[in-house]
Amino acid sequence: MRKTILFGLTAAMLATACSEEDDLRQGIAGEGITFTSSVMSRATDTSFEAEDAIGVSMYTESGFVGNATNVQYTTKNGTAFTSTNPMTWGAAGSAETVDFKGVYPYKAEAVADGKYSFTLATDDGASLSDNDVMYSSMTDVAVGEKNVNLTFKHKLVKVVMQVYDQNRKLLPGATVKINNQQTSGTLNLADGTVTSTGDANATLNFANNPEVSGEYQTIVMPSAATQGRVITITYNNVDYPCPVDMYAFDSGKKVIFSATLNPDGTVSPGETVTVSADVTDWEPEKVTSGWIFGAGANFKVEGKISYQLLTEPTVLSADISHFGNFGNKQLDATDVYSLEYTRDNADADAAIKISNQTYTLQAGLTSGTLLIAAGDNKKGGIDVTSEDEGITLTSVLVYTNENIGLPITLWTGDGSAGNGTVGDDVDSYPVIARITLSEEQQNLFVPGAILRCYLADGNDAALLRLGTLQLYYSWRNLGKFDDDSNCLTNVLTLAMCDEVKDDGNIMIFGQNWSNIQLDRVELVPASDDEDFTSLLWCHKAEGGNDCGMSYGDILVNIPTSLESGDIIRVTYTDAEEGAYLEGVAGNVDLVTTPDAPRMLQRTEVSVGGSSFDFDINEETCTALLGLECRSLIINGENLTVHKIQLVRGSGE
């Protein structure tokens, strides 16, 4: 309320004015607040329904008002909301204006510390509307307002699958599910942001749309693109898996997929099943893509890793383009090749031949993905040709859990602070990449696998750390940097695996005074050609050389899982008379401090042997784990070291 005080007013007149205002405010304070509400659409594509309940909270400059938080309001007509115990304006205290935050569905005891916690219902027959978490924010509401209008917005993601027959008629009787989903989260009432929590390991079933036969729908949590995520349509006992691992599911968006199946649910050789997808924000924004299912229904994508077989876009011609040289490795017959294509002109049908089988690209589709079961193409890869012009392959993937020795892309940066470049962090090594491994990726993140970090042109690989561990030191045979590709290669060690084993999160850091930029991180699964159990160091696996100890030394990272009774085993060759090994702290320069304490005592090595063991007692274990950055230098003379491993006291 605005007050204007005129000079010359008597004290009595001022007292009267103040008394009237106080009486007015006291009257307002006791009034119950009522709300009207609207929503653009619901999960069931209707407005609010009778008996729907929302939770409303009052927010002031001081934060949420304790006795006016998550108050239940219910509607009888889908528009007006009232409460049996309404909040009153008295809760606003001395504030002139307040904000109101609304959330649907109302859940008692769900709000704490300004956050609304929820879990999606996943049981059969669960109401889709109950999973449609919505949020409303009404700001700067004047105290005493007779009625407050709340407009709700969707905060999760609605996914729709429309299944058609070959005549483009909707096809009832299918079942649809999506895997790799989180089912719980929190909604911040102050700013409306949603944070998903828990593991992404749930499978959600789609419900039949009661108003549209042949349309199936579900509500999922917002999420980034997720390795191994698949939508599976089952019709007439045949599964049609659609990999959607490249799609981010953004808060408030509606994702619509459609699939066209033959009436009997099978695919004959040469015939196609077309699956198209468009992502439509409820504030419309459209992205399109599509799939074509190749011959054979025996596909299996769920839970598999995707490997990229294409290094750059390839324009198809009558000449053979070959993808997938697996050496002596081979796929499973149910593994899947995925070929993404674009077309310059899609006015007419076109054809792609893959390993002597022809597939039709339907007119009107300027881009899409061809999915083909490996079948007999398990070992040598696939040959691809086309007589039609203007067809370009933009990606060729293979989905498999077989170890075929090809790199998996774990992360790509966009060059922003904390996502490829150094931000304004005051730490010496601020984070430049955060990577969360899927369960399948964690299973491959083991000693002996290869980690590749690709940096922007002109960057210095010596400035990277994985957690507390240094990734490159050229003088001490740690990591290998290729100037041509700007790629830093590290063999995964037990210490590196210990850094991420608890939660599958990788944190990569770079020095804050540098202009370092990390573009991409890849993982190459461990080869089974050599035993890398509990590996601590192997420069040759990184593309370097075994270490001649007369000319260099070795930097070893100590794993956090080191225990008394373990053994550090050094495998070596070419030992001569006078050969020895020892260990000092990683920050010691033996040239300037030759008398530095030995963490591993100097010991002669047998000329005729092939390995040497350092026994780790309680005192040594404590000392090694207490080293700066847990780094140890292995020094020696007159032998060549091939690898260093940890042998557990239990004999592992």
Architecture of domain 305-400: Sandwich (2.60)
Q: Tally Cβ neighbours within 10 Å of residue 311.
A: 7
Terminal Cα distance for the chain, rounded: 77
- Return the bridge partners of 276, or none: 258, 290
- The encoded tokens of residue 265 equal 């649910």
Topology (CATH) of 157-293:
Immunoglobulin-like (2.60.40)
Please, which residues have CB within 8 angstroms of residue 110's CB and are 6 or more apart in sequence? 55, 70, 116, 117, 118
What does the DSSP 8-state code read for residue 207? E
Question: What pairing do the DSSP bridges indicate for beta strands 631-637 and 580-585?
Answer: antiparallel
What φ, ψ does residue 236 adopt, rounded to 5°?
50, 40
Note the CATH number of domain 11-154. Answer: 2.60.40.2620
Phi-psi group of 96: left, alpha or beta (phi > 0 → left; psi -120 to 50 → alpha; rest → beta)? alpha
What does the DSSP 8-state code read for residue 90? G
Predicted confidence (pLDDT) per residue in 5-59, tens digit: 222 223 333 333 344 444 444 445 556 787 887 775 666 555 788 888 999 999 9
For residue 493, the model assigns a pLDDT of 97
- Return the bridge partners of 256, or none: 160, 278
Integer Rg of the chain from CA: 32
Report domain extents, the chain. Answer: 11-154, 157-293, 305-400, 408-524, 546-647
For residue 280, the model assigns a pLDDT of 45
The residue type found at 219 is I
For residue 41, the model assigns a pLDDT of 64
- Return the bridge partners of 136, or none: 102
- Please list, residue by residue across 589-627, b when 16 or more beta carbons sit within 10 angstroms of its beta carbon and e when fewer do: eeeeeeeeeebbeeeebeeeeeebebebeeebbebbeeb
| Burial (CB count within 10 angstroms: exposed 0-12, middle 13-18, buried 19+), residue 265 | buried
Predicted confidence (pLDDT) per residue in 392-435, tens digit: 999 898 888 888 878 888 988 888 888 888 866 556 678 899 89
For residue 399, the model assigns a pLDDT of 87
**Fold agreement between 157-293 and 305-400:** no
C-alpha span between 161 and 305 (Å, rounded): 24
pLDDT < 70 positions in the chain: 1-31, 40-46, 125, 166-168, 260-300, 362, 423-428, 650-652
C-alpha span between 396 and 342 (Å, rounded): 12
